[in-house]
Chains A and B, each alone.
Chain A
Amino acid sequence: MAEEKKLKLSNTVLPSESMKVVAESMGIAQIQEETCQLLTDEVSYRIKEIAQDALKFMHMGKRQKLTTSDIDYALKLKNVEPLYGFHAQEFIPFRFASGGGRELYFYEEKEVDLSDIINTPLPRVPLDVCLKAPKEQQKAEATEPLKSAKPGQEEDGPLKGKGQGATTADGKGKEKKAPPLLDGAPLRLKPRSIHELSVEQQLYYKEITEACVGSCEAKRAEALQSIATDPGLYQMLPRFSTFISEGVRVNVVQNNLALLIYLMRMVKALMDNPTLYLEKYVHELIPAVMTCIVSRQLCLRPDVDNHWALRDFAARLVAQICKHFSTTTNNIQSRITKTFTKSWVDEKTPWTTRYGSIAGLAELGHDVIKTLILPRLQQEGERIRSVLDGPVLSNIDRIGADHVQSLLLKHCAPVLAKLRPPPDNQDAYRAEFGSLGPLLCSHVVKARAQAALQAQQVNRTTLTITQPRPTLTLSQAPQPGPRTPGLLKVPGSIALPVQTLVSARAAAPPQPSPPPTKFIVMSSSSSAPSTQQVLSLSTSAPGSGSTTTSPVTTTVPSVQPIVKLVSTATTAPPSTAPSGPGSVQKYIVVSLPPTGEGKGGPTSHPSPVPPPASSPSPLSGSALCGGKQEPGDSPPPAPGTPKTNGSQPNSGSPQPAP
Chain B
Amino acid sequence: MAALAEEQTEVAVKLEPEGPPTLLPPQAGDGAGEGSGGTTNNGPNGGGGNVAASSSTGGDGGTPKPTVAVSAAAPAGAAPVPAAAPDAGAPHDRQTLLAVLQFLRQSNLREAEEALRREARLLEEAVAGSGAPGEVDSAGAEVTSALLSRVTASAPGPAAPDPPGTGASGATVVSGSASGPAAPGKVGSVAVEDQPDVSAVLSAYNQQGDPTMYEEYYSGLKHFIECSLDCHRAELSQLFYPLFVHMYLELVYNQHENEAKSFFEKFHGDQECYYQDDLRVLSSLTKKEHMKGNETMLDFRTSKFVLRISRDSYQLLKRHLQEKQNNQIWNIVQEHLYIDIFDGMPRSKQQIDAMVGSLAGEAKREANKSKVFFGLLKEPEIEVPLDDEDEEGENEEGKPKKKKPKKDSIGSKSKKQDPNAPPQNRIPLPELKDSDKLDKIMNMKETTKRVRLGPDCLPSICFYTFLNAYQGLTAVDVTDDSSLIAGGFADSTVRVWSVTPKKLRSVKQASDLSLIDKESDDVLERIMDEKTASELKILYGHSGPVYGASFSPDRNYLLSSSEDGTVRLWSLQTFTCLVGYKGHNYPVWDTQFSPYGYYFVSGGHDRVARLWATDHYQPLRIFAGHLADVNCTRFHPNSNYVATGSADRTVRLWDVLNGNCVRIFTGHKGPIHSLTFSPNGRFLATGATDGRVLLWDIGHGLMVGELKGHTDTVCSLRFSRDGEILASGSMDNTVRLWDAIKAFEDLETDDFTTATGHINLPENSQELLLGTYMTKSTPVVHLHFTRRNLVLAAGAYSPQ
Residues of A within 8 A of B (CB): 1-2, 4-7, 9-11, 41-42, 44-45, 48-49, 52, 56-57, 59-65, 67, 69, 73, 76-79, 126-134, 136, 143-149, 152-153, 155-156, 159-160, 163-164, 166-168, 170-171, 174-175, 177-179, 181-186
Contact status A11-B179, CB under 8 Å: no
Q: Would you give 11 A-B contacts (Cβ < 8 Å), ordered by A?
A: A5-B269, A59-B713, A61-B545, A129-B495, A130-B466, A143-B465, A146-B773, A149-B774, A170-B458, A171-B460, A183-B481
Contact status A177-B398, CB under 8 Å: yes
Once A132-B464, A146-B463 are accepted as A-B contacts, the answer to whether A167 and B773 lie under 8 Å apart by CB is no
Instruction: Give the residue of B271, B460, B466 whose beta carbon is less than 8 angstroms from that of A131.
Output: B466
Binds A, one of B18-26, B95-103, B467-475: B467-475
Contact status A163-B290, CB under 8 Å: no
Once A5-B269, A129-B495, A134-B462 are accepted as A-B contacts, the answer to whether A167 and B467 lie under 8 Å apart by CB is no
Residues of B within 8 A of A171 (CB): 458-460, 771
User: What distance in Å separates the Cβ of B503 from its nearest Cβ neighbour in chain A?
Assistant: 10
Contact status B456-A166, CB under 8 Å: yes
Contact status B284-A45, CB under 8 Å: yes
Residues of B within 8 A of A155 (CB): 766
B745 within 8 A of A: no
Residues of B within 8 A of A174 (CB): 451, 460
User: What distance in Å separates the Cβ of B529 from its nearest Cβ neighbour in chain A?
Assistant: 21
* Total CB contacts across the A-B interface at under 8 A: 211
Complex Cα distance, B122 from A91, in Å, reads 62
Chain B positions 647 through 660: 1 when the CB is less than 8 Å from some CB of chain A, otherwise 0: 10000000000000
Q: Please, which residue of chain A has its CB at the minimum distance from the CB of B289? A: A42
B7 within 8 A of A: no
Q: Which of B243-288 contact A (CB under 8 A)?
A: 261, 264-265, 268-273, 276, 279-281, 283-287
Once A149-B734, A167-B771 are accepted as A-B contacts, the answer to whether A131 and B776 lie under 8 Å apart by CB is no
B74 within 8 A of A: no
User: What distance in Å separates the Cβ of B791 from its nearest Cβ neighbour in chain A?
Assistant: 9
Once A62-B715, A170-B458 are accepted as A-B contacts, the answer to whether A79 and B181 lie under 8 Å apart by CB is yes
Once A52-B281, A148-B773, A163-B456 are accepted as A-B contacts, the answer to whether A129 and B286 lie under 8 Å apart by CB is no
Binds A, one of B47-55, B403-411, B482-490: B482-490
Q: Nearest 8 CB-CB pairs, A to B? A: A5-B273, A146-B773, A48-B284, A127-B468, A144-B463, A175-B460, A183-B482, A149-B772
B455 within 8 A of A: yes
Residues of A within 8 A of B772 (CB): 148-149, 152-153
Q: Please, which residue of chain A has its CB at the minimum distance from the CB of B673? A: A59
Chain B positions 427 through 470: 1 when the CB is less than 8 Å from some CB of chain A, otherwise 0: 00000000000000000000000010001111111111111111
Q: Which of B552-576 contact A (CB under 8 A)?
A: 563
B684 within 8 A of A: no
Residues of B within 8 A of A163 (CB): 455-456
B623 within 8 A of A: no
Complex Cα distance, B584 from A77, in Å, reads 12
Contact status A60-B547, CB under 8 Å: yes
B744 within 8 A of A: no
B743 within 8 A of A: no
Instruction: Give the residue of A65, A73, A79, A160 whose beta carbon is less than 8 angstroms from that of B183.
Output: A79
Q: Please, which residue of chain B has its CB at the minimum distance from the CB of A47? A: B284
Residues of A within 8 A of B605 (CB): 56, 77
Contact status A59-B181, CB under 8 Å: no
Contact status B284-A133, CB under 8 Å: no
Contact status A147-B499, CB under 8 Å: no
6 additional contacts (CB under 8 A) given A133-B462, A159-B767, A171-B458:
A11-B284, A49-B284, A56-B629, A129-B487, A131-B487, A152-B772
Complex Cα distance, B463 from A144, in Å, reads 7
B778 within 8 A of A: yes
Once A62-B731, A79-B181 are accepted as A-B contacts, the answer to whether A45 and B487 lie under 8 Å apart by CB is no
Contact status A184-B261, CB under 8 Å: no
Instruction: Give the residue of B459, B473, B474, B775 whose beta carbon is less than 8 angstroms from that of A144.
Output: B775
User: What distance in Å separates the Cβ of B535 from its nearest Cβ neighbour in chain A?
Assistant: 8
Complex Cα distance, B548 from A61, in Å, reads 10
Residues of A within 8 A of B788 (CB): 181-182
Contact status B713-A63, CB under 8 Å: no
Residues of B within 8 A of A (CB): 179-181, 183, 261, 264-265, 268-273, 276, 279-281, 283-287, 290, 294, 397-398, 451, 455-474, 481-483, 485, 487, 489-490, 495, 497, 499-501, 535-536, 544-545, 547, 563, 586-587, 589, 605, 629, 631, 647, 671, 673, 689, 713, 715, 731, 734-735, 766-767, 769-776, 778-779, 781, 786, 788, 790, 793, 796-798
Contact status A168-B771, CB under 8 Å: yes
Q: Please, which residue of chain A has its CB at the minimum distance from the CB of B563? A: A73
Once A11-B261, A149-B772 are accepted as A-B contacts, the answer to whether A183 and B286 lie under 8 Å apart by CB is no
Contact status B474-A133, CB under 8 Å: no
Once A59-B671, A61-B490 are accepted as A-B contacts, the answer to whether A45 and B269 lie under 8 Å apart by CB is no
Contact status A133-B489, CB under 8 Å: no
Complex Cα distance, B451 from A155, in Å, reads 28
Contact status A167-B398, CB under 8 Å: no
User: What distance in Å separates the Cβ of A627 from its nearest Cβ neighbour in chain B?
Assistant: 52
Contact status A78-B462, CB under 8 Å: no
Complex Cα distance, B451 from A174, in Å, reads 11
Residues of A within 8 A of B474 (CB): 60-62
Residues of B within 8 A of A44 (CB): 284
Contact status B473-A62, CB under 8 Å: yes
Complex Cα distance, B794 from A133, in Å, reads 9
Contact status B264-A11, CB under 8 Å: yes
Complex Cα distance, B711 from A64, in Å, reads 13
Residues of B within 8 A of A69 (CB): 490
Complex Cα distance, B671 from A153, in Å, reads 29
Complex Cα distance, B493 from A657, in Å, reads 86
Instruction: Give the residue of A45, A56, A128, A184 whose beta carbon is less than 8 angstroms from that of B468.
Output: A128
Complex Cα distance, B290 from A498, in Å, reads 98
Contact status B180-A79, CB under 8 Å: yes
User: What distance in Å separates the Cβ of A163 from its nearest Cβ neighbour in chain B?
Assistant: 7
Residues of B within 8 A of A64 (CB): 731, 779, 798
Residues of A within 8 A of B458 (CB): 167-168, 170-171
Give the interface centre of A5, A159, A175 by most chain B CB atoms within 10 Å.
A5
Once A134-B463, A184-B499 are accepted as A-B contacts, the answer to whether A126 and B776 lie under 8 Å apart by CB is no
Once A62-B731, A170-B456 are accepted as A-B contacts, the answer to whether A9 and B715 lie under 8 Å apart by CB is no
Residues of B within 8 A of A127 (CB): 467-468
Residues of B within 8 A of A167 (CB): 455-458, 770-771
Contact status B463-A60, CB under 8 Å: no
Complex Cα distance, B40 from A64, in Å, reads 40
Complex Cα distance, B793 from A127, in Å, reads 23
Residues of B within 8 A of A73 (CB): 544-545, 563, 587
User: What distance in Å separates the Cβ of A391 from its nearest Cβ neighbour in chain B?
Assistant: 70
Q: Please, which residue of chain B has its CB at the minimum distance from the CB of A7? A: B276
Complex Cα distance, B469 from A167, in Å, reads 34
Complex Cα distance, B459 from A183, in Å, reads 14
Residues of B within 8 A of A2 (CB): 269-270
Complex Cα distance, B487 from A132, in Å, reads 13
Residues of B within 8 A of A45 (CB): 284-287, 290
Complex Cα distance, B280 from A7, in Å, reads 11
Residues of A within 8 A of B771 (CB): 148, 164, 167-168, 171
Residues of B within 8 A of A61 (CB): 471-472, 474, 490, 545, 547
Complex Cα distance, B768 from A330, in Å, reads 64
Complex Cα distance, B545 from A397, in Å, reads 84
User: What distance in Å separates the Cβ of B491 from its nearest Cβ neighbour in chain A?
Assistant: 9
Q: Please, which residue of chain B has its CB at the minimum distance from the CB of A63? A: B471
Contact status A183-B563, CB under 8 Å: no
Contact status B464-A182, CB under 8 Å: no
Complex Cα distance, B269 from A171, in Å, reads 47
Residues of A within 8 A of B798 (CB): 63-64
Residues of B within 8 A of A185 (CB): 462, 464, 499
Complex Cα distance, B462 from A658, in Å, reads 65
User: What distance in Å separates the Cβ of A649 from its nearest Cβ neighbour in chain B?
Assistant: 58
Residues of B within 8 A of A130 (CB): 466-468
